[in-house]
Amino acid sequence: MKLDRVELYNGTTIPAIGYGTWKAPRAEITIQAIEDAMMCGCNHIDSATRYGNQVYVGQGIAAGLKATGWKREDIFVTSKLWNTVRGYDETLEAFQQSIDDLGLDYVDLYLIHWPRPAIFHDEYIEKNAQTWRAMEKLYHDGKCKAIGISNFKVHHIEELMQTAEVKPMVNQLEFHPGCGVALKEDIEYCEKNQILVTGYSPLANGRIFDFPQVKEIADNLGVSVSQLCMKYAQQRNVIPIFKSVHKERILENLNLDFTISEEDMKLIDALEEPALLNDSDHITFGETTPPVF
């Protein structure tokens, strides 16, 4: 079994649920967890240079391909460019290092991780333009099937599009109950412009369990809070990206064969907490202090 896929505007398809690898633990656990995720049917692996574990992610993918009998084209792998790297040549070099670490010839999706790194704060628009030009080359050369952005607000996208020749295909955003109002403009903009949204931190980094109204809706549906948050994202046309190293929880998060009523969706939409963990306009983290992903 493999997950259903959603089509990007360029015709590339992306599986409807992603398995995240941020803060993945020791090498052997990461490798086993990715193999388990693939054995459970998850063929969408989300990684990033900043996570510092792409060598192990690549080994997990290799183990998963062997265990499932899938071919490389059966899976969808994302990587991201970290904030210490901007510029044309620098981006090409960083990408090559990323696929070398993963042990792959290409990635399916390559993203700019954050729009406004502290070290390029005063020239981030120009640096992002140079970086995007390199990503367009990687795309045209077939080194990535799709290119995109992460944590970009509307104005960041419009700044990028002043010089871009290829429109981003994906914008990865923090997405969970409680952030709907804060993200409304960004998500509507992406939908209008055929930019698919993928969503990280569907459980708000665990804070969602502090909100009894969410658990009440989940209990009424006979599902877990995690399943509810994952399904909530899907019903708002966002591809959720979850993380777990426990096989039973991986299976749980992939089992979303239920529907949240429109009434309950509106109740979840109305939540004002938990608020967003990060604000890409105001975060000042550098290369040693990562944000929450």
Give the tokens for residue 159: 């700044």
Pairing mode of beta strands 13-15, 5-7 = antiparallel
Give the tokens for residue 243: 């993380």
* Spatial contact of 293 and 22, defined as CB atoms under 8 Å apart: yes
Environment class of residue 106 by beta-carbon count within 10 Å: exposed (0-12), middle (13-18) or buried (19+)? middle
Distance (Å, whole) CA 272 – CA 275:
6
Let me know if 51 is a catalytic residue. yes
The beta-carbon contacts of 86-90 under 8 Å, at least 24 apart in sequence, are: 86/117, 86/120, 86/124, 86/127, 86/128, 86/130, 86/131, 87/127, 87/130, 87/131, 87/134, 88/130, 88/131, 88/133, 88/134, 89/134, 90/131, 90/134
Amino acid at 278: N
Helix (H), strand (E) at residue 7 = strand 5-7
Pick the catalytic residue: 19, 51, 56, 200?
Answer: 51
Which residues are tagged catalytic?
A: 51
